[in-house]
Chain A
Amino acid sequence: MIKVANLHYKYQSGLEVLHGLSFRIGKGEFVALIGQNGAGKTTLLKQFNALLKPTAGSVGIAGLDTAKSSTGELSRKVGFLFQNPDHQIFMPTVAKEIGFGPKNLHLSKGEIEARVAEAAQAVGLTRYLGHNPLLLSKGQRQRVAFASVLSMQPEILVLDEPTTGQDYQEGIEIMEMVKKLNEQGHTIVFVTHDMELVATYARRVIVLSRGRVLLDDSCRNVFYHPEILKQTNLFPPQIARLAQAFAGEGLFKRPLTVDEMYEEILALASRPEGAKNVCCS
């Protein structure tokens, strides 16, 4: 679905920020892209819809070579959701906002209406279709922006820091919608600094550092390499760090979430030889 081969990118100033990246992302994957400030994450995302084009190497999106494709063509394949919904909202009603992309695809009126209805339903905004989006709450505006992306029915959804500026509850609501889309077969790539969010949602993690891929592995494998993460200003989620502190004892499998570690501790405590070991005050 996404094929990045030996990708280099140099800004006009001559500063090269991507130094030969290669990876493939298959249909239906759920990938987090992480790395320190300035690692090149956003520069990489901008290659996916040809806002930036490779200086060397290539980026293929659903079979299209981005060097030879326009942002318009790619917008049917890749949907983008940014941090601030207000940067992508500009129409007078929610329905027009959601229908804006499909209208530009010159779809029939019936098809546009059907897509608007479906996208609004997916994000729970059906009863707000006639409202002015800018008068909705921030969480609702983020849903409007999300529905506008969905109405294009992109196979790939790219989210750049989707939860920054949102509180925890709003962040989870967005990620749950993304998860549902992934279950329906959409390919997801998201960028975040929130390692707890990565541990909860991503199945695969690509770690960038100074324009190179430092690690590309399952979420669990990545978070149990703290020494490598540190090179790019990251550390694993709290639970992984806690389990890691017991690495010498070989007590834990590799938990990432509170639920996983809680279950492991209960199991340890209920073992016959564990019972006498577990004390409590």
Chain B
Amino acid sequence: MHSAVISVENLSFTYPGASQKALDSLSFKIAEGEFVGVTGPTGAGKSSLILCLNGIIPHFQQGTFHGAVLINGCDTFHTSCAELARQVGSVFQDPEAQIVAPAVEEEIAFGLENLAIPPKEIDERIGEALEWIGIANLRHRSTTELSGGQKQRVAIAAAIALKPKILLLDEPTSELDPIGTMEVFEVLKMLNREHGLTIVVVEQKVNILVEYVSRLLIMKEGGGACDATPRQVIAQPALLTSVGLKPPPVGELAYRLKLKGLYPGELPLTVGDAYLGLAESLSIKGRA
């Protein structure tokens, strides 16, 4: 285990006037290079958690804050958002709401200019960020004419250009069609594997999470209901159903078949896995 880059210690947060805690005695650590999916029913505290990790809570959102959040050892309570922004990049739900510039290139330059980075380096970083995300061809395009998936990838490129060690995303695909969703997760996988970024993504679509992440944090009523690998979660569908989430269909199918002795080996995380398992079970040779 690498050292923890995110450490959440007995964190509680209550919004002003709220009767219930949004976050309630939450504790966990995330090591460098992990790819963590956070899911749970609405009101479980997922977005509040993201706001605590990038320092917006407590710096810009009032409320009652207990416990501690450490990012690379820095206590967010005593570290400004601007300093945290050098370590933590954030991408939100609605790409429209976070894209401010008319052209892709300017959008990516925006954060860099705010950090007073010299123009030559800004130029290099824009090129590099677009290259990493695989959208170098969009550099001179207008942000208004991009598809939803493209806009969200521009938002990720803008976050990446600041060279954060950690990337936080709050429901980055909720407005996107299925292929746009996959495009975003492919980019996250690449950033995680090839560039070693630690990624924390809040997502309602359990199907896609189990396919991509290495660890799932399931939240309920402000606390952690479960912290497990995708395979552990698929093997115990009750972990999802007990908090009102739906297990991925191929996982559920294989789980039910396994109870009847009709599914061999590990439960599948993807349609491809399920094909191999079923082909074995049904003794189909050839393509399996």
Instruction: Please report A residues at the B interface, Cβ cutoff 8 Å.
Output: 35-38, 137-139, 164-170, 193, 195-196, 230, 232-235, 237-239, 241-242, 245-246, 248-249, 251, 257-258, 261-262, 265-266, 268-269, 277-281
Contact = CB atoms under 8 A, between A and B. Distances in A.
B120 interface: no
Contacts of B283: 277-279
A33 to B, nearest CB: 13
A128 to B, nearest CB: 17
Interface stretch (B84-92, B193-201, B245-253): B245-253
A193 B177 contact: yes
Interface string B176-194: 1111110000000000000
Interface stretch (B25-33, B131-139, B154-162, B259-267): B259-267
Contact of A165 (B174, B262, B282): B174
A138 B284 contact: no
Contacts of B42: 138-139, 165-167, 170
B264 A137 contact: no
B271 A245 contact: yes
Nearest to A255: B253
B46 to A, nearest CB: 10
Given A165-B42, A241-B271, A280-B261, A265 B174 contact: no
B116 to A, nearest CB: 35
A137 B174 contact: no
B79 interface: no
Most B CB within 10 A of own CB, among A35, A258, A268, A269: A258
A234 B177 contact: yes
B148 A195 contact: no
A278 B181 CA distance: 36
A242 B283 CA distance: 16
A170 B245 CA distance: 10
Contact of B275 (A235, A242, A269): A242
Contact of A277 (B149, B176, B250, B282): B282
Contacts of B244: 167-170
Nearest to B207: A238
Nearest to B179: A233
Contact of B256 (A196, A230, A257, A262): A262
Interface in B224-282: 244-246, 248-250, 252-253, 256-257, 260-265, 271-272, 274-275, 278-282
B61 interface: no
Contact of A167 (B41, B261, B282): B41
A168 B203 CA distance: 12
Contacts of B40: 167
B262 A278 contact: yes
26 contacts: A36-B180, A37-B148, A37-B177, A38-B147, A164-B174, A170-B41, A195-B178, A196-B207, A233-B180, A234-B178, A235-B179, A238-B250, A238-B271, A242-B274, A245-B275, A246-B275, A246-B278, A248-B287, A249-B284, A251-B284, A265-B282, A266-B262, A280-B261, A280-B263, A281-B264, A281-B265
A235 B281 CA distance: 26
A231 to B, nearest CB: 10
Nearest to B260: A266
Contact of A242 (B263, B278, B287): B278
Contacts of A232: 177
B43 interface: yes
Given A37-B148, A169-B41, A279-B264, A268 B274 contact: no
A200 to B, nearest CB: 10
A266 B260 CA distance: 9
A258 B274 CA distance: 12
Q: Which of A35, A234, A261, A268 lies at the interface centre, i.e. has the most chain B CB atoms within 10 A of its CB? A: A261
B12 interface: no
Given A170-B42, A238-B207, A280-B263, A230 B179 contact: yes
Contacts of A245: 271-272, 275
Contacts of B260: 266, 269
B282 A268 contact: yes
A246 B281 contact: no
